[in-house]
Structure 1
Amino acid sequence: MQPIPQPPTPLADRATVVVTRPDDPLAAPLVEELSREYDERYGLNDGIPSSAELSRYPAERFTEEEGGTFLLLVDDGRPVAGGAFMREDDTTVEIKRVWTHSGFRRQGLARRVMAELEREAARRGIRTVVLTTGARQPEAVALYLALGYSPLFDLDGDWEQVSYLGFRKEL
């Protein structure tokens, strides 16, 4: 009798969590792709590329010493997804930069990133998580709603008018 072949382990389950910084060369492929997608989706804002948002905060804001974290999911030495949070106050963090490489989407990686970020925030005693996404990212809106985040805007309203779509979740 031959053994029954086992299905491969899903990427979201087998990827390794690497805690690092947004300026780590390992993160560069994800950050570069995120930058391109911001510019493609949103274009210029007052003559400035939308990707400028990615350099709005110094890398140190996403280190544990400053109350933040930056993590990557890595498979076979390459980053496939990532995300971060930075501290707002003693009980609140803001999630930033959740991103899945375009070649690996729809495999549960963003859900895994969010779970890892929430777990780390809870481990540090954080009680509230906030985040924003852009009006032209309906897949992100769907993800955050599915993960139990409460929208801080009218879901039936004009998202473009709102611009930054805020969410909140109590851990």
Structure 2
Amino acid sequence: MTATDQGRTLLRDGRTLTWERTSWDDPRGEALRTAMDAEIGPRYATLRGDSPRPAPPTTEDVAFLLLALVDGEVAATGTLRRLPDRWEVKRLFIDAGHRRLGLASAVLEQLEEGAREQGAAELFLQTGNRQPEAIALYERQGWERVPVFAPYDPADGISVCFRKPLPA
């Protein structure tokens, strides 16, 4: 990716990347989350069984939902969530037709910058053990593994949690 003078980013394939911050209830973000659930959910179906999942983010606790637009088309999303004791990255997902463009790293960087703007000194996130591509991304981006934190269940063997300090 290379920056252009219009404040947009040129992707290596020549398309233009722009960013939009919006709310959790934006239907474009909801469509990507639905696609994420359809893709990732089956990986965990046998592990989860009937176990309840932690409550999803709400409009009230989401600082913003980030959308990456490639030539105006919604390509990726990530969420910055504010909880009483921490800031958390949630629901990072890249549309299948827009992968291998560096968007996952770029979304993380945008979320980290947004968290700094909100005064966060560190970020946390949770992923699952059946998402090796996500785990590899977070490790490449300088996230460190930490013990599983609430509301995730350390006994279920699914959660892999990370933390990243955000230098000023």
Task: Return 15-24 or 100-109, whichever deviates more.
Answer: 15-24
Structure 1: which 5+ runs fail to align?
A: 1-7, 63-67, 154-159
- The reply on whether 1:42 has 2:44 as its aligned counterpart is yes
Q: 2:98 aligns with which of 100, 104, 127?
A: 104
Q: Output the TM-score relative to the length of structure 1.
A: 0.76
How many residues matched?
151
Deviation at 1:47, TM superposition (A): 2.8
Whichever structure has more helix as a proportion of its residues is 1
- The reply on whether 1:126 has 2:120 as its aligned counterpart is yes
Deviation at 1:169, TM superposition (A): 0.8
Task: Tell me, in whole angstroms, the C-alpha distance in 1 between the residues paired with 2:113 and 2:160.
Answer: 23
Structure 2: which 5+ runs fail to align?
A: 1-9, 148-154
What is the alpha-carbon root mean square deviation over aligned residues? Answer: 2.8
% identical aligned pairs = 32
Deviation at 1:20, TM superposition (A): 1.0
**Contact 2:82–2:88 (CA under 8 A) maintained in structure 1:** yes
- The reply on whether 1:167 has 2:168 as its aligned counterpart is no
Question: Which protein has the larger Cα radius of gyration, Structure 1 or Structure 2?
Answer: 1
**Contact 2:68–2:77 (CA under 8 A) maintained in structure 1:** yes
Deviation at 1:77, TM superposition (A): 2.9
**Contact 1:26–1:78 (CA under 8 A) maintained in structure 2:** no
Counterpart of 1:131 in 2: which secondary structure?
A: strand
Q: Output the TM-score relative to the length of structure 2.
A: 0.77
Counterpart of 2:60 in 1: which secondary structure?
A: helix
Task: Tell me, in whole angstroms, the C-alpha distance in 2 between the residues paired with 1:95 and 1:101.
Answer: 18
Match of 2:107 in 1: 113
